[in-house]
Chain A
Amino acid sequence: MMATSAHTVAAPARARTAADSVTLGRKQGFQHGGWFVAPFLVLFALFVIWPLLRGVYLSFTDANITGESTSFVGLDNYREALKDPLMWDTLGHSAYFTLLVVPCITVLAFLLAMLAHHIERGKWLWRLCFFAPFLLPSTVAANLWQWLFNPGTGMINHVFGTETPWLTDTSYAMLAIVIETLWWTVGFSFLLYLAALQSIPGHLYEAAKLDGAGAWHRMIHITLPMLRNITGLVVALQILASLQVFDQAVVMMDFGPGPEGATRTFVQYTLEQGFTSYRVGYASAISVIFFVIIAAVALARMWLLRNREESAR
């Protein structure tokens, strides 16, 4: 920079050398970046890529947890998985959980953010109240709610004067886990919405007010369209996280599968196959199936985003 400014009035030949030294500087500075990336890549290769490849390999074998006498079984594990009613059941439980949690959390997070955004006093206090549960470990939040849902000694039945067998009845057990999850994780999506609300330029609302638009119109025509991207993000993150539900389900059910297996999630099933039945080969096969599902969701989102960007152009 110094060189170019000093030579702007100089002869063309000298100006070229100055420009050369800039490119030279850039090249020297930015080449051979492999060393920057190396430490991460080592860890990434060992603990992400290698397990993935290993999982694919093991899925074609009958490996057990001790790793002894493994033999190749071709597609047997996958054939078995497709016919395994428990795999489909547990996949269904995780999908059902996702279907309940995602819309609820999105709407609730939006409403809480609107509330915290529009109350003029004590903003930090609302933020603290709505976000604090997210700071608890999953297991602690689950224990709290297990205790609240407890049929006799728990507060929920007592407060509402009900006798609902929350944790022991097939039709309520998953619902209890969903309610716990809403309380525990809504704070994260709430913060994303709050940040998005705060970044909407105020002059948009002022202009709309001058044009005589009421509060309802301003929300429909300014707030909601401006929050479209963030809603897409919240929904995508929640789908990916909810499909992988595990912690709260096992803790609230005392590490069991819930009443008649109603809350056994897919992740729980893979771990049971691997660590309780010692069938590492089979567990790997259903993990690979799960990975394909997760990857499909993530790729679908990328595809949607790209389409939208192109249509916006």
Chain B
Amino acid sequence: MTTKAWTPSQIVLTLLGTAVSVVFLAPFAWGLFTSLKSETEAVEVPPHWLPEDWTGQAWTALFQSGNITNWFVNSLVVSVCVTSVVLLVSALAGYGFARTEFRGKSALMGLVMAGLMISPAVLGVPLFTTVQQMGMVDTYWGMILPQCAPAAMVYILYKFFQGIPRELEEAAFIDGAGRWRVFFTIVLPLSRPSLAAVGIFTFIASWNNFLWPYMVTNNPDLMTMPNGIATVMNSYGIQWAQLMAGGLMAGLPLIIVFVFFQRQIVAGVAHTGLAGQ
């Protein structure tokens, strides 16, 4: 690392990068410092960056009001369930479309492609009435299941499975392995990077999902982090220091995970994004 020379162009670029990074990080800093002020200091005019009296009041108040831990657990339950179901279901379906023959396959594949254009933002109202008819409003099921049919993830894994050489599986079939065994013992282990990409992307999307949980839950005890913070904490006169503390609670887990698993997450997000090419 130390062998790289500080050429003039590197110095300029590094300074530029630092300046841009400061702009990108400033909102985080503003949020963090606000959360460490008292509520009265937070709304002082003119504003100042650093707290004059550093205090953890907002953070203790946040935990005492009780809801936040509930929301955190709900977020965790929903994201973990969604991610596991999506991984299982879309790996199976991707493989089915890539490698097996069955009647109506190409028509179904076309339907899945059409599904790429549909989201809760587009069809929120009819989706809600459907879930309502199933009696799943204000339940975990109602939050989780509609997030579990992402056509995009099936498509990504379908593309990936098509790229695995068929000979590997054929050899196993001749040795007498059934197709489920081939899938679980040969295909899945080969697909670890793609599965990780899909899993990471799904977890981020689900953890941060606001629109659907917002539509399907009214009960504050059942809300997820983004939903609870946006609706409950924004509804009575906003207490900014507490709101910032809550926001950091919702955002920091993923950012901390990102610091440690940066390579995998970057690869995962790029991989899922690039699959649209």
Where the two chains meet, the residues of A that have a C-beta atom closer than 8 Å to any C-beta of B are 1-3, 21-22, 25-26, 28-37, 39-41, 43-44, 46-52, 54-55, 58, 63, 65, 67, 112, 115-116, 118-121, 124-133, 135-140, 142-145, 147-148, 152-155, 158, 183, 188, 191-192, 194-196, 229-230, 233, 236-237, 240, 244, 246-247, 251, 254-255, 267, 270-271, 273-275, 280, 283-284, 287, 290-291, 294-295, 298
A1 touches B21 (CB 8 A): no
Q: Report which of A36, A115, A124, A273 forms a contact with B92, defined as CB distance below 8 A.
A: A36
Q: Report which of A47, A115, A127 forms a contact with B262, defined as CB distance below 8 A.
A: A127
Q: Enumerate chain B residues within 8 angstroms of A130, measured Cβ to Cβ.
A: 20-21, 24
Q: Enumerate chain A residues within 8 angstroms of B166, measured Cβ to Cβ.
A: 26
A143 touches B229 (CB 8 A): yes
A47 touches B149 (CB 8 A): yes
- Known: A28-B173, A43-B145, A130-B21. Is A115-B269 also a contact (CB below 8 A)? no
A40 touches B149 (CB 8 A): yes
Q: Enumerate chain A residues within 8 angstroms of B90, measured Cβ to Cβ.
A: 40
CA distance A180 to B34 in the complex (A): 18
Q: Enumerate chain B residues within 8 angstroms of A270, measured Cβ to Cβ.
A: 124-125
B173 touches A25 (CB 8 A): yes
Give a binary string over B133-155; 1 marks a CB under 8 Å from any A CB, 0 the rest: 10000000000011011010010
Q: B189: CB under 8 A from chain A?
A: no
- Known: A22-B174, A44-B112, A138-B210. Is A233-B226 also a contact (CB below 8 A)? no
A54 touches B124 (CB 8 A): no
Interface size on B, residues (CB 8 A): 109
Distance in angstroms from B170 CB to nearest chain A CB is 6
Where the two chains meet, the residues of B that have a C-beta atom closer than 8 Å to any C-beta of A are 1, 4, 10, 13-14, 16-17, 20-21, 24-28, 30-31, 34, 42-47, 49, 88-90, 92-93, 95-97, 99-103, 105, 108, 111-112, 114-119, 121-133, 145-146, 148-149, 151, 154, 166-167, 169-174, 179, 182-183, 204, 207-208, 210-211, 215, 225-227, 229-231, 234, 240, 243-244, 247-248, 250-251, 254-255, 258-259, 262, 266, 269-270, 273-274, 276-277
Least CB separation from B118: chain A residue: A48
B115 touches A1 (CB 8 A): no
CA distance A152 to B116 in the complex (A): 43
Least CB separation from A1: chain B residue: B171
SS class, residues of chain A in contact with chain B: helix
Q: Enumerate chain B residues within 8 angstroms of A284, measured Cβ to Cβ.
A: 125-126
* Inter-chain CB contacts under 8 Å: number: 310
Distance in angstroms from A174 CB to nearest chain B CB is 18
Distance in angstroms from A93 CB to nearest chain B CB is 14
B273 touches A139 (CB 8 A): no
B149 touches A133 (CB 8 A): no
A44 touches B151 (CB 8 A): yes
B4 touches A120 (CB 8 A): yes
Q: Enumerate chain B residues within 8 angstroms of A129, measured Cβ to Cβ.
A: 20-21, 24-25
Q: Enumerate chain A residues within 8 angstroms of B127, measured Cβ to Cβ.
A: 47, 51
Q: Enumerate chain B residues within 8 angstroms of A158, measured Cβ to Cβ.
A: 46-47
Q: Report which of A41, A65, A115 forms a contact with B17, defined as CB distance below 8 A.
A: A115
